[in-house]
Chain A
């Protein structure tokens, strides 16, 4: 059949980097991150978390084509930060939020099984 294998959508091919980084040649403190085998799930949470960072002037992501299994995250920051710093910070913050969410859900499950 003339179709890509299904696993192509989520298995990073050997020799390909999961995340690659490219500085903007014209604008200082701007860069693009190419994330292989990811889509809206990661792209959108990163974008929204980056918007919470006051040093981020611009953050956006795109899925260039439905058959190109990658996203491009573009970040422009003030001189107080850098795209790389903002990117790392957004991942750390999301990780923290999810840790908190996990604990909150587990606590509620415990409470729920006691109360009902």
Chain B
């Protein structure tokens, strides 16, 4: 059966797109693909994060490992990550994380000289690579630059000092959550809601109101003019079955039918800022393709089986 293909051709519709947020519809595929994309976005799309810390001076109230951990969790801009090497398979260095192909160096030197508490933040980290820097969370619309603070690392009082060198490396969320580019990735089945209009008209306005209000989320409402029950936001439905139970309790089973469409998904993607949300989706597709390529059968496995097949056919008297 050469040439036969059972591949699907999914459709996409983007509803909302911001640097760190994306909402889109994915149709004509199944939950396995939707879930694989979600899992890859969370655990397998690479980013860059601080992985090695060498502390020179630390007279702050936090111990060395506490600070090293906090440094690791700071999101770094990671557009470079897809083309970078993992330290463990970098041949330019011995994986000690000192080369430009697999690592980025950071320096931090802060000392408090006043009676005013000094905040040490991600803004105090100096990078050896201008493309890999702590994510800027400041609101671009805000004109007040004094509000432009980074991620706080530690607070220092007079005389306390923090001096360190840190190496950031490429990694994935499966190794450590600090490398995950995803703040949240979720998908839901698109609900399809059918109201039995004839049965609905047997309800009084008061009963309709009662039924509409039985939903914990605002899915239905009553048209003020026609007094008909209508769906105002089908996606607000959280598959809680409340309206269905209510209809049964009112002696009107089948008043509404709600189906989760098995081939339509609504995705919500929030990024940590390490990469753009749209890039996160595209990188996940790319990584999934690479994973599939890695699980292809090797040439020698196929050959070994061909020989086995001949032997088997021979033994079966073929």
Which A residues are within 8 Å of any B CB, using their own CB?
A: 6-7, 9-11, 17-21, 23, 33, 35, 38, 40-42, 44-49, 52-53, 55, 80-81, 84-85, 87-102, 104-106, 108-109, 111-113, 116
Contacts and interface: CB of A to CB of B under 8 A. Distances in A.
A61 to B, nearest CB: 11
Given A84-B297, A84-B302, A42 B6 contact: no
A91 B8 CA distance: 13
Contacts of B285: 98, 101-102, 105
Contacts, number: 138
Contacts of A19: 295-298, 301
Contacts of B24: 105, 108
B33 A97 contact: yes
Interface stretch (B12-20, B145-153, B195-203, B248-256): B12-20
Contacts of B292: 42, 91, 94-95, 98
Contact of A18 (B40, B172, B298): B298
A74 to B, nearest CB: 15
A106 B12 CA distance: 9
Contacts of B289: 95, 98-99
B227 interface: no
Q: SS class of chain A's interface: helix, strand, loop or mixed?
A: helix
21 contacts: A18-B294, A41-B291, A42-B295, A45-B36, A48-B30, A48-B32, A53-B6, A85-B1, A89-B5, A92-B5, A93-B7, A94-B292, A95-B289, A96-B7, A98-B289, A101-B12, A105-B281, A108-B14, A109-B14, A109-B278, A112-B17
Contacts of A108: 12-14, 24
Contacts of A45: 32-33, 36, 288
A95 B287 CA distance: 11
Contact of A6 (B13, B39, B175, B286): B175
B80 interface: no
B307 to A, nearest CB: 12
B14 A47 contact: no
A35 B36 CA distance: 16
B297 A88 contact: yes
B291 A100 contact: no
B165 interface: no
B123 interface: no
Interface string B268-308: 00000000001001100110110111111110011011001
Interface in B176-222: 176
Contacts of A91: 292-293, 295-296
A104 B10 contact: yes
B109 interface: no
Given A19-B296, A47-B32, A108-B13, A93 B5 contact: yes
A72 B152 CA distance: 46
Given A45-B33, A95-B289, A102-B286, A35 B174 contact: no
A104 B172 CA distance: 26
Given A21-B297, A104-B11, 9 more contacts: A6-B176, A21-B304, A41-B44, A49-B32, A55-B1, A84-B305, A98-B292, A101-B12, A112-B17
B5 A44 contact: no
Contacts of B138: none
Contact of A9 (B1, B9, B174, B296): B174
Nearest to B316: A28
Nearest to B15: A112
Contacts of A92: 5, 7
B35 interface: yes
B88 interface: yes
